[in-house]
Amino acid sequence: MTKLLLAELYSSNLLGFASASEAAVTQVVEEGPTVVDSLLTANNIWMMLCTALVFIMHLGFAGVEAGFGQAKNTVNILFKNTLTPVIGILTYALGGFFLMYPAFETPGWLAFNGANWNTLWFSPSTADVSPGYAGAGYTFWTEFLFQAMFAATAATIVSGAVAERIKITSYLIFTVIFVGVVYPIIGSWKWGLGALDAMGFWDFAGSTLVHSVGGWGALAGIMILGPRLGKYVDGKVVDKPGSSVPLAVIGVFLLWLGWFGFNGGSVLSGDPGGTSFVLVTTCLAACSGALGGFLTGYFVFKRLDLGMVLNGVLAGLVGITAGADVINPGWALLVGFIAGILVVLSAVTLDKLKLDDVVGAVSVHLTCGIWGTLAVGLFSNNPDHTFWIQLKGVVICGAAAFISAYVIFFIMDKISGIRVSEEHESAGMDSHEHGIRGYTIVYDE
């Protein structure tokens, strides 16, 4: 009986991409409560593992940013990357979670009814951990923690772009507002069953809702901050050598590892068919993205550019994130490859516009996030996913994220300034703001 019941659960898409079959759930609950309890346990373990994988991505972001950043700013970079998940998780717990999943009475933009607003803080005993919650895919607590990791990721994207010249206080204030309010409201329009969801917009794991939202925030930040001192001189781009290429490589591989949880967990269960399919498309897109970055980097710069290969990996991952569940493996290779090309061309374009992005966050997360979301309309195996609807979703989310981020940075800049002094920037932010350096060699007398 157990195997038959499990088969019926999966065949009814209880743990897949469609809605659950109430009849199948009822049958399992009535005939074998141990079966459905075991199913919930197995699914929940997978979801908790994915939560841990997404969390470890913060170490990857820290490695990439510190590796590509200058040695004199290493502690400052690591300080920001340590506090980003702290702020992201706390602000999400304080209100972001319930802004993002507000239980719209009717699909809309701000039509919150406040359902379950107090569950997390004031009535933990009412939090649902039964098989009836989320189709036996996970518990209330797992859902909160998994989604909190996504929220913190959106802020980390901004950190890399604005590195080496933003005041630490300005960055932290921006993070609180952006992650606590802007990100969850935009996310609610799709994942909270709001207006974009009703429109038919599809973003499986966040090419737009996480990566492009963070990318728009990063773009607003570098526009207001301006480039680092000496970055653009007499029409030429001056390279700022990173502190550790090995650290950057380690960071990228940690991010690639974490993406198995980022996309794999977005199936929202341990469904063997769904998770395995998503992991395959995710990995293939990363590989083809690396090739796209490698070949385009060689064509543009006439050298074997490791940085473009690394960003190509991330570009492929960002590109496939919106459609990892609906784009077949062959098309996933093409989506990743094009993303690898775009990330190089985007980086070159930003430099021509004198928009200084330390780690290429705008190119990776914004440019490739847009591409990946539009790619759903081109390559999805679901005919309901159209290019026009995907484009509308990109424009709506982009306008909301960019305008919000720009206003936040602009107001802070007018009130107290968001950029450090030229003296502090030239000498390095570590010694001025933190009193220690990231790399210290001590010689015995």
Alpha-carbon distance of 287 to 297, in angstroms, equals 15
Mean pLDDT of 410-417: 94
Average pLDDT for the chain: 87
**Statement: residue 13 has pLDDT above 80:** no
Rounded to 5°, the CA angle 382-386-388 comes to 170
Q: Which residue has the higher pLDDT, 85 or 33?
A: 85
Say if residue 27's pLDDT is above 70. Answer: no
| Cα separation, 60 vs 75, whole angstroms | 16
Domain locations along the chain:
49-98+150-433
CATH superfamily of 49-98+150-433: Ammonium transporter AmtB like domains (1.10.3430.10)
Task: Decide if pLDDT at 11 tops 50.
Answer: no
Q: Examine the pLDDT at 291 and tell me if it is beyond 50.
A: yes
* pTM of the shown model: 0.88
- pLDDT of amino acid 136: 82
Q: Over pLDDT 70: what percentage of the chain?
A: 87
